[in-house]
Chains A and B, each alone.
Chain A
Amino acid sequence: MVRNMKKEKRKIYGINRNFISFFILVIAIGFIVYGAMRGEASTVLVKAVKVCLECVGIG
Protein backbone atom coordinates (compact mmCIF):
# COMPACT_ATOMS: atom_id res chain seq x y z
CA MET A 1 0.00 0.00 0.00
CA VAL A 2 2.73 2.44 1.07
CA ARG A 3 4.89 1.33 -1.83
CA ASN A 4 2.05 2.00 -4.27
CA MET A 5 1.49 5.44 -2.75
CA LYS A 6 5.15 6.34 -3.26
CA LYS A 7 5.01 5.17 -6.87
CA GLU A 8 2.01 7.42 -7.51
CA LYS A 9 3.76 10.39 -5.97
CA ARG A 10 6.72 10.00 -8.28
CA LYS A 11 4.57 10.68 -11.32
CA ILE A 12 3.66 14.11 -12.67
CA TYR A 13 0.89 14.11 -15.27
CA GLY A 14 1.54 10.40 -15.69
CA ILE A 15 5.25 10.87 -16.42
CA ASN A 16 7.90 9.50 -14.10
CA ARG A 17 9.22 12.35 -11.97
CA ASN A 18 12.82 11.15 -12.18
CA PHE A 19 12.61 11.14 -15.96
CA ILE A 20 11.39 14.75 -15.92
CA SER A 21 14.18 15.72 -13.52
CA PHE A 22 16.85 14.14 -15.73
CA PHE A 23 15.30 15.70 -18.83
CA ILE A 24 15.43 19.16 -17.23
CA LEU A 25 19.00 18.48 -16.09
CA VAL A 26 20.01 17.74 -19.68
CA ILE A 27 18.28 20.92 -20.89
CA ALA A 28 20.14 22.92 -18.22
CA ILE A 29 23.50 21.54 -19.31
CA GLY A 30 22.57 22.21 -22.94
CA PHE A 31 21.67 25.82 -22.11
CA ILE A 32 24.95 26.32 -20.21
CA VAL A 33 27.08 24.92 -23.06
CA TYR A 34 25.18 26.81 -25.79
CA GLY A 35 25.26 30.07 -23.81
CA ALA A 36 28.96 29.74 -23.04
CA MET A 37 29.72 28.95 -26.69
CA ARG A 38 28.06 32.13 -27.90
CA GLY A 39 30.00 34.25 -25.42
CA GLU A 40 27.50 34.87 -22.63
CA ALA A 41 29.97 33.79 -19.93
CA SER A 42 32.33 36.55 -21.08
CA THR A 43 29.51 39.10 -20.82
CA VAL A 44 28.82 37.90 -17.26
CA LEU A 45 32.52 38.15 -16.40
CA VAL A 46 32.86 41.66 -17.86
CA LYS A 47 29.85 42.83 -15.82
CA ALA A 48 30.86 41.05 -12.60
CA VAL A 49 34.48 42.21 -12.39
CA LYS A 50 33.48 45.89 -12.41
CA VAL A 51 31.59 47.61 -9.60
CA CYS A 52 27.96 47.59 -10.69
CA LEU A 53 26.98 51.22 -10.16
CA GLU A 54 23.24 50.49 -10.30
CA CYS A 55 23.57 47.71 -7.71
CA VAL A 56 25.47 49.78 -5.15
CA GLY A 57 23.12 52.74 -5.53
CA ILE A 58 25.14 55.18 -7.64
CA GLY A 59 23.14 54.75 -10.85
Chain B
Amino acid sequence: MVNKESKRNNKNEPIRPRQFRSWIQGLATFVTNIHFPNFFKGTIYEGAAKAVCVPGLNCYSCPGATGACPIGSFQAVVGSSKFNFAYYVTGLMILFGVLTGRLICGFLCPFGWFQDLLNKIPSKKFSTEKLKALRITKYIILFGVVWFLTAVVVTDTGIVPPYFCKYVCPQGILEGGIPLSIANPYIRQALGALFTWKFAGLMLIIILSIYFYRPFCKWICPLGAFYALFNKVSFYKIHFNKDSCIACGKCKTACKMDVDIRKTQDALECIRCNDCVNVCPTDALSTSFENIKIKRKE
Protein backbone atom coordinates (compact mmCIF):
# COMPACT_ATOMS: atom_id res chain seq x y z
CA MET B 1 0.00 0.00 0.00
CA VAL B 2 1.42 3.37 -0.98
CA ASN B 3 0.88 6.46 1.11
CA LYS B 4 -0.92 9.15 -0.82
CA GLU B 5 0.98 12.05 0.76
CA SER B 6 4.26 10.64 -0.47
CA LYS B 7 2.74 10.26 -3.89
CA ARG B 8 1.63 13.86 -3.91
CA ASN B 9 5.24 14.92 -3.47
CA ASN B 10 6.24 12.95 -6.53
CA LYS B 11 7.18 15.44 -9.25
CA ASN B 12 6.13 12.97 -11.94
CA GLU B 13 2.60 13.00 -10.56
CA PRO B 14 0.27 14.19 -13.35
CA ILE B 15 -1.86 17.26 -12.69
CA ARG B 16 -5.54 16.41 -12.21
CA PRO B 17 -8.37 18.82 -13.15
CA ARG B 18 -10.16 17.97 -9.90
CA GLN B 19 -7.33 19.61 -7.95
CA PHE B 20 -8.35 22.95 -9.48
CA ARG B 21 -12.12 22.56 -9.22
CA SER B 22 -12.78 26.06 -7.93
CA TRP B 23 -10.73 27.56 -10.77
CA ILE B 24 -12.54 25.40 -13.32
CA GLN B 25 -15.88 26.52 -11.88
CA GLY B 26 -14.77 30.16 -12.15
CA LEU B 27 -13.60 29.65 -15.73
CA ALA B 28 -16.85 27.90 -16.65
CA THR B 29 -18.84 30.79 -15.16
CA PHE B 30 -16.74 33.26 -17.15
CA VAL B 31 -17.14 31.35 -20.42
CA THR B 32 -20.88 30.97 -19.80
CA ASN B 33 -21.10 34.75 -19.32
CA ILE B 34 -18.43 35.98 -21.70
CA HIS B 35 -20.17 39.16 -22.87
CA PHE B 36 -18.95 41.05 -19.86
CA PRO B 37 -19.29 44.64 -21.22
CA ASN B 38 -23.08 44.17 -21.34
CA PHE B 39 -23.13 44.38 -17.53
CA PHE B 40 -22.26 48.08 -17.86
CA LYS B 41 -24.58 48.71 -20.81
CA GLY B 42 -27.62 47.15 -19.13
CA THR B 43 -28.39 45.02 -22.19
CA ILE B 44 -28.10 41.32 -23.07
CA TYR B 45 -26.26 39.47 -25.86
CA GLU B 46 -28.55 38.90 -28.85
CA GLY B 47 -26.44 36.66 -31.10
CA ALA B 48 -27.16 33.28 -32.69
CA ALA B 49 -25.28 31.38 -29.96
CA LYS B 50 -28.32 31.97 -27.75
CA ALA B 51 -30.09 29.20 -29.70
CA VAL B 52 -27.82 26.69 -27.90
CA CYS B 53 -28.25 25.78 -24.24
CA VAL B 54 -25.37 25.96 -21.81
CA PRO B 55 -24.96 22.91 -19.52
CA GLY B 56 -25.36 24.71 -16.18
CA LEU B 57 -28.11 26.82 -14.62
CA ASN B 58 -27.39 30.22 -16.15
CA CYS B 59 -30.12 32.75 -16.88
CA TYR B 60 -30.30 33.85 -20.51
CA SER B 61 -31.30 37.29 -19.30
CA CYS B 62 -27.92 37.70 -17.65
CA PRO B 63 -26.22 40.58 -19.53
CA GLY B 64 -23.15 38.43 -20.16
CA ALA B 65 -24.90 35.14 -20.99
CA THR B 66 -23.32 33.27 -23.89
CA GLY B 67 -26.14 30.76 -24.43
CA ALA B 68 -29.60 29.83 -23.25
CA CYS B 69 -30.65 28.34 -19.91
CA PRO B 70 -31.82 24.71 -20.42
CA ILE B 71 -34.71 24.99 -17.94
CA GLY B 72 -35.86 28.37 -19.25
CA SER B 73 -35.61 27.15 -22.84
CA PHE B 74 -37.57 23.98 -22.08
CA GLN B 75 -40.38 26.03 -20.57
CA ALA B 76 -40.27 28.53 -23.44
CA VAL B 77 -40.72 25.78 -26.05
CA VAL B 78 -43.29 23.70 -24.17
CA GLY B 79 -45.15 26.83 -23.08
CA SER B 80 -45.32 28.24 -26.62
CA SER B 81 -48.44 27.81 -28.73
CA LYS B 82 -46.49 25.88 -31.40
CA PHE B 83 -45.09 22.92 -29.47
CA ASN B 84 -46.19 20.55 -26.74
CA PHE B 85 -42.76 19.02 -26.07
CA ALA B 86 -39.19 20.35 -26.33
CA TYR B 87 -37.22 17.66 -28.15
CA TYR B 88 -34.32 19.98 -28.95
CA VAL B 89 -33.73 21.18 -25.38
CA THR B 90 -34.45 17.76 -23.85
CA GLY B 91 -31.98 16.23 -26.32
CA LEU B 92 -29.30 18.72 -25.29
CA MET B 93 -29.92 18.04 -21.60
CA ILE B 94 -29.81 14.26 -22.18
CA LEU B 95 -26.57 14.73 -24.11
CA PHE B 96 -24.96 16.67 -21.25
CA GLY B 97 -26.37 14.18 -18.74
CA VAL B 98 -25.25 11.02 -20.47
CA LEU B 99 -21.75 12.36 -21.05
CA THR B 100 -21.07 13.57 -17.52
CA GLY B 101 -24.02 13.05 -15.17
CA ARG B 102 -23.87 15.59 -12.37
CA LEU B 103 -20.23 16.45 -13.09
CA ILE B 104 -21.81 19.60 -14.55
CA CYS B 105 -23.15 20.49 -11.08
CA GLY B 106 -19.74 19.97 -9.53
CA PHE B 107 -17.58 21.67 -12.13
CA LEU B 108 -19.55 23.76 -14.63
CA CYS B 109 -22.66 25.24 -13.02
CA PRO B 110 -22.32 28.98 -12.17
CA PHE B 111 -24.95 28.81 -9.44
CA GLY B 112 -23.25 25.78 -7.93
CA TRP B 113 -19.99 27.74 -7.80
CA PHE B 114 -21.81 30.69 -6.23
CA GLN B 115 -23.09 28.43 -3.44
CA ASP B 116 -19.64 26.87 -3.01
CA LEU B 117 -18.14 30.33 -2.49
CA LEU B 118 -20.84 31.27 0.02
CA ASN B 119 -20.20 28.07 1.95
CA LYS B 120 -16.53 29.08 2.29
CA ILE B 121 -17.54 32.07 4.46
CA PRO B 122 -16.31 31.17 7.95
CA SER B 123 -19.28 30.13 10.11
CA LYS B 124 -20.75 27.09 11.80
CA LYS B 125 -21.67 24.49 9.18
CA PHE B 126 -24.70 22.25 9.57
CA SER B 127 -25.13 18.77 8.18
CA THR B 128 -28.05 18.04 5.84
CA GLU B 129 -27.93 14.31 6.58
CA LYS B 130 -31.19 14.45 8.54
CA LEU B 131 -32.89 16.49 5.84
CA LYS B 132 -32.53 13.84 3.14
CA ALA B 133 -36.30 13.70 2.66
CA LEU B 134 -36.21 17.21 1.20
CA ARG B 135 -34.21 15.95 -1.77
CA ILE B 136 -37.39 14.75 -3.42
CA THR B 137 -38.55 18.38 -3.75
CA LYS B 138 -36.29 18.98 -6.73
CA TYR B 139 -37.87 16.06 -8.62
CA ILE B 140 -41.34 17.41 -7.81
CA ILE B 141 -40.24 20.80 -9.17
CA LEU B 142 -38.76 19.16 -12.30
CA PHE B 143 -41.80 17.07 -13.19
CA GLY B 144 -44.50 19.21 -11.55
CA VAL B 145 -43.52 22.82 -12.15
CA VAL B 146 -41.11 22.72 -15.09
CA TRP B 147 -42.91 20.08 -17.18
CA PHE B 148 -46.46 19.37 -15.99
CA LEU B 149 -47.67 22.92 -15.28
CA THR B 150 -46.09 24.27 -18.46
CA ALA B 151 -47.43 21.46 -20.65
CA VAL B 152 -50.91 21.14 -19.18
CA VAL B 153 -52.07 24.61 -18.09
CA VAL B 154 -54.03 26.41 -20.82
CA THR B 155 -54.14 30.19 -21.09
CA ASP B 156 -56.18 32.51 -23.33
CA THR B 157 -53.15 33.42 -25.42
CA GLY B 158 -51.90 29.85 -25.70
CA ILE B 159 -48.58 30.96 -24.21
CA VAL B 160 -47.79 29.60 -20.74
CA PRO B 161 -45.39 31.55 -18.52
CA PRO B 162 -42.20 29.83 -17.35
CA TYR B 163 -43.43 29.11 -13.82
CA PHE B 164 -40.09 27.96 -12.43
CA CYS B 165 -38.24 30.99 -13.82
CA LYS B 166 -41.00 33.34 -12.73
CA TYR B 167 -41.61 32.23 -9.15
CA VAL B 168 -38.69 30.06 -8.02
CA CYS B 169 -35.37 30.53 -9.84
CA PRO B 170 -32.99 32.73 -7.83
CA GLN B 171 -30.45 32.75 -10.66
CA GLY B 172 -32.67 35.04 -12.76
CA ILE B 173 -32.56 37.68 -10.04
CA LEU B 174 -28.88 37.22 -9.25
CA GLU B 175 -27.64 37.25 -12.85
CA GLY B 176 -30.46 39.09 -14.60
CA GLY B 177 -32.67 41.20 -12.33
CA ILE B 178 -29.99 42.76 -10.14
CA PRO B 179 -27.34 43.68 -12.77
CA LEU B 180 -29.93 44.83 -15.32
CA SER B 181 -31.79 47.00 -12.79
CA ILE B 182 -28.54 48.61 -11.67
CA ALA B 183 -27.45 49.50 -15.21
CA ASN B 184 -30.83 50.06 -16.87
CA PRO B 185 -33.18 52.72 -15.41
CA TYR B 186 -36.20 51.48 -17.42
CA ILE B 187 -35.93 48.00 -15.90
CA ARG B 188 -35.38 49.53 -12.47
CA GLN B 189 -38.63 51.49 -12.74
CA ALA B 190 -40.58 48.39 -13.74
CA LEU B 191 -39.64 46.33 -10.69
CA GLY B 192 -42.49 45.38 -8.38
CA ALA B 193 -43.85 42.69 -6.08
CA LEU B 194 -42.51 39.80 -8.18
CA PHE B 195 -38.97 41.16 -7.90
CA THR B 196 -39.38 41.49 -4.13
CA TRP B 197 -40.63 37.88 -3.90
CA LYS B 198 -37.75 36.53 -5.97
CA PHE B 199 -35.19 38.72 -4.25
CA ALA B 200 -36.36 37.37 -0.88
CA GLY B 201 -35.95 33.83 -2.27
CA LEU B 202 -32.42 34.63 -3.39
CA MET B 203 -31.56 36.05 0.04
CA LEU B 204 -32.89 32.89 1.68
CA ILE B 205 -30.73 30.71 -0.58
CA ILE B 206 -27.70 32.90 0.15
CA ILE B 207 -28.17 32.65 3.92
CA LEU B 208 -28.80 28.90 3.77
CA SER B 209 -25.73 28.39 1.54
CA ILE B 210 -23.49 29.91 4.19
CA TYR B 211 -24.61 27.34 6.79
CA PHE B 212 -25.53 24.34 4.58
CA TYR B 213 -23.64 23.03 1.57
CA ARG B 214 -25.49 23.73 -1.71
CA PRO B 215 -29.10 23.83 -0.43
CA PHE B 216 -30.43 24.85 -3.85
CA CYS B 217 -28.70 21.92 -5.58
CA LYS B 218 -29.87 19.44 -2.95
CA TRP B 219 -33.47 20.50 -2.60
CA ILE B 220 -34.64 22.76 -5.44
CA CYS B 221 -32.66 22.62 -8.69
CA PRO B 222 -34.65 20.85 -11.46
CA LEU B 223 -31.59 20.79 -13.73
CA GLY B 224 -29.59 18.93 -11.09
CA ALA B 225 -32.55 16.57 -10.68
CA PHE B 226 -32.54 15.89 -14.42
CA TYR B 227 -28.78 15.24 -14.60
CA ALA B 228 -29.03 13.04 -11.50
CA LEU B 229 -31.14 10.60 -13.50
CA PHE B 230 -28.10 10.00 -15.74
CA ASN B 231 -25.50 9.39 -13.02
CA LYS B 232 -26.03 5.63 -13.40
CA VAL B 233 -25.48 5.59 -17.16
CA SER B 234 -23.11 8.50 -17.80
CA PHE B 235 -19.82 7.96 -19.60
CA TYR B 236 -18.07 9.68 -16.72
CA LYS B 237 -17.82 7.26 -13.82
CA ILE B 238 -16.38 6.93 -10.36
CA HIS B 239 -14.80 3.57 -9.55
CA PHE B 240 -14.31 1.98 -6.17
CA ASN B 241 -11.71 -0.71 -5.60
CA LYS B 242 -12.85 -2.61 -2.53
CA ASP B 243 -9.50 -4.40 -2.19
CA SER B 244 -7.60 -1.12 -1.74
CA CYS B 245 -10.09 0.36 0.73
CA ILE B 246 -8.94 0.50 4.38
CA ALA B 247 -12.39 1.66 5.61
CA CYS B 248 -10.98 4.88 7.10
CA GLY B 249 -14.24 6.69 6.28
CA LYS B 250 -12.49 9.80 4.96
CA CYS B 251 -14.51 9.73 1.74
CA LYS B 252 -17.82 9.76 3.60
CA THR B 253 -16.66 12.57 5.89
CA ALA B 254 -15.42 14.61 2.93
CA CYS B 255 -18.68 14.30 0.99
CA LYS B 256 -20.79 17.38 1.54
CA MET B 257 -23.62 15.90 -0.53
CA ASP B 258 -24.11 13.16 2.11
CA VAL B 259 -23.15 10.31 -0.23
CA ASP B 260 -21.30 7.19 0.90
CA ILE B 261 -19.36 6.54 -2.28
CA ARG B 262 -18.27 3.10 -1.05
CA LYS B 263 -21.87 1.90 -1.10
CA THR B 264 -22.81 3.34 -4.48
CA GLN B 265 -20.68 5.11 -7.06
CA ASP B 266 -23.71 6.25 -9.07
CA ALA B 267 -25.71 7.96 -6.31
CA LEU B 268 -28.28 10.48 -7.57
CA GLU B 269 -26.93 13.10 -5.18
CA CYS B 270 -23.27 12.73 -6.21
CA ILE B 271 -22.18 15.91 -8.01
CA ARG B 272 -18.84 14.31 -8.97
CA CYS B 273 -16.89 17.02 -7.15
CA ASN B 274 -14.18 14.41 -6.58
CA ASP B 275 -13.61 15.45 -2.96
CA CYS B 276 -13.83 11.77 -1.99
CA VAL B 277 -11.27 10.78 -4.63
CA ASN B 278 -8.92 13.51 -3.44
CA VAL B 279 -8.98 12.45 0.23
CA CYS B 280 -8.71 8.70 -0.29
CA PRO B 281 -5.33 7.70 1.18
CA THR B 282 -5.06 4.47 -0.79
CA ASP B 283 -6.45 5.47 -4.19
CA ALA B 284 -9.33 3.07 -3.83
CA LEU B 285 -11.41 5.65 -5.69
CA SER B 286 -10.76 6.70 -9.25
CA THR B 287 -12.64 8.26 -12.15
CA SER B 288 -12.89 7.58 -15.86
CA PHE B 289 -14.57 8.67 -19.06
CA GLU B 290 -15.89 5.48 -20.69
CA ASN B 291 -12.93 3.07 -20.77
CA ILE B 292 -10.22 5.70 -20.38
CA LYS B 293 -9.37 5.34 -16.74
CA ILE B 294 -7.97 8.35 -14.88
CA LYS B 295 -6.00 7.02 -11.94
CA ARG B 296 -2.80 7.88 -10.18
CA LYS B 297 0.21 5.76 -11.17
CA GLU B 298 1.07 2.97 -8.79
Interface residues of A (CB under 8 A from B): 2, 5-6, 9, 12, 17-18, 20-21, 24-25, 27-36, 38-45, 47-59
Contacts and interface: CB of A to CB of B under 8 A. Distances in A.
B92 A32 contact: yes
B82 A45 contact: no
A50 B241 CA distance: 50
B15 interface: no
What class of interface size applies to chain B in its complex with A? 35 or more
Nearest to B73: A44
Contact of B173 (A29, A57, A59): A57
A49 B46 contact: yes
Residue with the highest number of chain A CB atoms closer than 10 Å, among B46, B89, B162, B233: B233
A32 B91 contact: yes
A35 B91 contact: yes
Interface string B250-293: 00000000000000010000000000000000000000001100
A38 B85 CA distance: 11
B76 A31 contact: no
Interface in B59-89: 59-61, 65, 67-69, 72-73, 76-77, 80, 82-83, 86-89
Contact of B234 (A21, A31, A49, A52): A21
A40 B83 contact: yes
Interface string B42-56: 001111101111000
A5 B242 CA distance: 10
A32 B88 contact: yes
Contacts of B196: 57
A47 B44 CA distance: 12
The secondary structure that dominates the A interface is: helix
Interface string B156-169: 00000110011001
A23 B222 CA distance: 24
Contacts of A47: 60, 68, 72-73, 76
B88 A35 contact: yes
21 contacts: A17-B233, A24-B94, A25-B95, A28-B94, A28-B95, A31-B91, A35-B88, A42-B51, A44-B73, A45-B48, A47-B68, A48-B65, A49-B47, A49-B50, A51-B180, A54-B162, A55-B162, A57-B196, A57-B198, A57-B199, A59-B166
A56 B61 contact: yes
Contacts of B1: none
A18 B94 CA distance: 15
Contacts of B69: 48
B46 to A, nearest CB: 4
B266 to A, nearest CB: 9
Contacts of B67: 48
Contacts of A35: 77, 86-91
A42 B176 CA distance: 22
B199 A44 contact: no
B187 interface: yes
B61 A55 contact: yes
Contacts of A44: 50-51, 53, 68, 73, 76-77, 88-89
B133 interface: no
B89 A40 contact: yes
Contact of B187 (A24, A54, A56): A56
B68 A48 contact: yes
A53 B242 CA distance: 52
